[in-house]
Structures are given as structure tokens and as C-alpha cells.
Structure 1
Amino acid sequence: MRLSHSFQVMCCGVALALFAGCTSQDDTRTFDEKDSQASAEAEHAHEHDHEHDHGPNGGHLLEVGEEQYHVEVVFDNDKRTLTAFILGPDAKSAHPIAGETIDFDLEVGDKEHEIPLAAKPLDGEKDGKSSRFVAEGKAIPESIKAESDLNGHFHLDIGEDHFHVDLHHEGHDHDHDDHDHDHEKTEPKKEETKKEEPKKTEDKPADKE
């Protein structure tokens, strides 16, 4: 009887050891290059989705530079208004900038139609700065019926930097060769310089003999 009991205990011990070994093997996995690639793809997909997020005012969210700032675009066809909100890097907080207007170049075929948006500061914004810019009425072409009709780019001056901020929707054939601008490019603001006209030279009359 003792031998039989000892044998049963030994069998149970072996079974438990085998079960623990199998569980340990199943739960342990090393990460390889495929895991790193999958992680990178997931991060890229998240960044791509972020470009099409909606801002705090329910508008289309655009990145400015390397997410230094954001522009939220809101179009209201009933009121015939186009509003651009300048936001900070968190894409939520208002970021007032200096300037009376910003420009949106609407792309119509191979031509551009400039739409100026005038500063309309939010409550509490002062010192000549505004985070809200609005175009309304006749400033907006009648062909624009929805946000999806807005294809073009904003000209944005923030501090000493100048940005081209593109707004393009799916299905819009955007040819980079037709437009001389870069996506999300930061350029120093250029001071206007007057070109000097070439001096006119007059022939001296020949000496009379």
C-alpha cells in the first residue's frame, strides 16, 4: 500500500512539472523584427488618422509644421462663412497670432482664387492678436457648397516663420508641379525690398570742331 501511495504521489509530481513547463513555454515569446515593423506601422496609421481628426469647434484639423501648431477649418454653407481657428500643438488650445488677415488660396483647376480671412478675436484676445479668422459672404465663391469643395492652402505667418498649410480632400487631383509651394514647410519671413531701376546713360554729344 505504501509503495502504491508513493507511486501515485510521484506521478502527480511529474504531471505538475510537465504542466508548468508547457504553460511557461506558451506564455513566453521573444519580440523580433516583425514586431518592431508592426509597431511602426501602427504608429504611422495613428499619425495619418490624426490628420483627419476634428478640432474643438467640430472642424477639419490640419497640422502646421511638425505639429508646432494646428489650423481648424470650419465651413458653414447656410451662413456662407469660412472660419480658421489657430490652435497650439495640443490641437485644442487657442493660439492667437498677430495680423489682420490670413489668406486661403482656393485651387480651381490650374488657377488659384485668393480668399482673405479677417481677424475676429475671441473673448479675451487682445494686443492685436487673434486665433480666429473669418471670410464670409461674397468673399467665398458660389461654387463652394461644402467643406469638401475647399482644396488649396493657407498662408500663415506665426512669429518669424511663414507656413504653407495644405487642405486637400480625397478625390482631388492635386498636381505639385502646378503650384510653387511645399507641404508644411517653414520659411523665414522675407522683407520686401525695392528693386533699383538701372541708371540710364546718355550719350555725350560729339565736340564741334
Structure 2
Amino acid sequence: MKIHLFTLTLVCYGLVGCSGPSESVPSVPEPSDVIVMDDLPSLTDSDGHPEHGPHGGELIELGKEAFHVEMVHDAAKVSMFVLDNTATIPVAIEVQTLTLSLKHDGKVKSFELAADRQTDDPEGRSSHFSSTNGELMRWLDAEAEGAVVLSIEGSSYTGKISHDHDHSGHDH
């Protein structure tokens, strides 16, 4: 019995150590408890802006981020939403059309998107523009690049349309 008590004392002394009074040692999280930031989906880019617009579309910068346009398209419709500098709040503008100038396979073509006023937009202004032009959708599906041109409060803005993003996991 004395041997067991001596062994137990040695084991306890070895666990506590020679540091004097017992100190609280923080527990080490189990590997399943550790969150790796690289594994989380990024919601913002390196400048702190969202990677996608409020409707899940591609963001196009206007005027050194004075404004943004969000482009969303599928097989039936192309929509463009005018947004503020944070790319989160709609901005209703006075123009009746946005112009997309696209280039693909050496050809250049311009397309118009008509104002499609939202319920929150003031009378005579729109934050949303759309088109159901099949040719426009085919050009965008073929990864045409170009620019969107619009006027906001009397100033002209041009935003670059490019297809340098991954297409997996979403429709246009």
C-alpha cells in the first residue's frame, strides 16, 4: 500500500510540476474546434467591399469606387443595379438607359438596358436597368468584355466589364 501511495504521489507531483502553487493552464482546443480563416468563404474583397452585389451579381466599379454597378444575368434577362460607393445601397438616377459596349471575337456592339424603376425609387429615377435582348445574353455568355457607360448627377461614368472570375457554382 505504501508503494502505491508513493507512486500516486510521484505521479501527482509530476503532473503539477515543480512550479509551486498550481497555475491554471489554458486548454488546447481540439482540432475540430479550430476555425481556419482560409476555409471560410470570403464576403469582402481586400478593400473591404462585398465580393458580390446585394443580388449576388458581379460588381463593376465606377469612378474610382464613387459608385458601383451590379450585373446579374441568366438565360432570360440581364439586370444592372446602380449602387453607392459601398456597393450595398441602391442609387436611383435620372437616366432612362444604360449603354453596354461589348467586344467579342473582334466585333464590337452596343446594347441598351432600359430603366426598370423599383418600388423604392423616386418618381423619374431608377436604380435598376434591364434587357431581355437574346443577342446581349449570348454575347455575355460568350464572355464578351467591354464597358458600361452611364451618367449620374451630370457626370459620366464608365465601368469595365471583364470575365476574370470563376464561373463554377453560379449562373450568369
TM-score of the aligned structures, taking structure 1 as reference length? 0.52
Q: Which has the larger radius of gyration?
A: 1
Tell me the CA shift for residue 125 of structure 1: 1.4
Out of 105, 108, 115, which is 1:109 matched to?
105
Q: Judging changes above 3 Å, is the alpha-carbon distance between structure 1 residues 56 and 150 closer, same or farther for their aligned structure 2 residues? A: farther
Relative contact order, higher structure (CA 8 A, sep 6+)? 2
Q: Secondary structure at the match of 1:104?
A: strand
Contact (CA 8 Å) 2:104, 2:144: kept in 1 or not?
A: no
CA distance in 2, matches of 1:96, 1:162: 15
- Structure 1 segment 11-30 matched on structure 2, within 5 A: none
Give 1:63's aligned residue: 61
Tell me the CA shift for residue 76 of structure 1: 1.0
Gaps of 5+ in 2: 1-44, 166-172
Residue 169 (structure 1) aligned with residue 167 (structure 2): no
Cα deviation 1:71-106 (Å, max 9, x = unaligned): 0010112x2x11110001121110000111010011
CA distance in 2, matches of 1:75, 1:140: 10
- Structure 1 segment 65-144 matched on structure 2, within 5 A: 65-77=63-75, 79=76, 81-138=77-134, 140=136, 142-144=138-140
Percent identical pairs in the alignment equals 28
Cα deviation 1:178-205 (Å, max 9, x = unaligned): xxxxxxxxxxxxxxxxxxxxxxxxxxxx
Q: RMSD of the alignment, in Å?
A: 2.3
CA distance in 1, matches of 2:140, 2:155: 30
Amino acid at match of 1:76: D
Gaps of 5+ in 1: 1-44, 172-209
Bigger fraction of residues in helix: 1
Q: Judging changes above 3 Å, is the alpha-carbon distance between structure 1 residues 91 and 117 closer, same or farther for their aligned structure 2 residues? A: same
Residue 159 (structure 1) aligned with residue 153 (structure 2): yes
Amino acid at match of 1:109: D
The size of the alignment, in residue pairs, is: 121
CA distance in 1, matches of 2:164, 2:59: 15
CA distance in 1, matches of 2:138, 2:58: 21
Residue 46 (structure 1) aligned with residue 46 (structure 2): yes
CA distance in 2, matches of 1:109, 1:137: 19
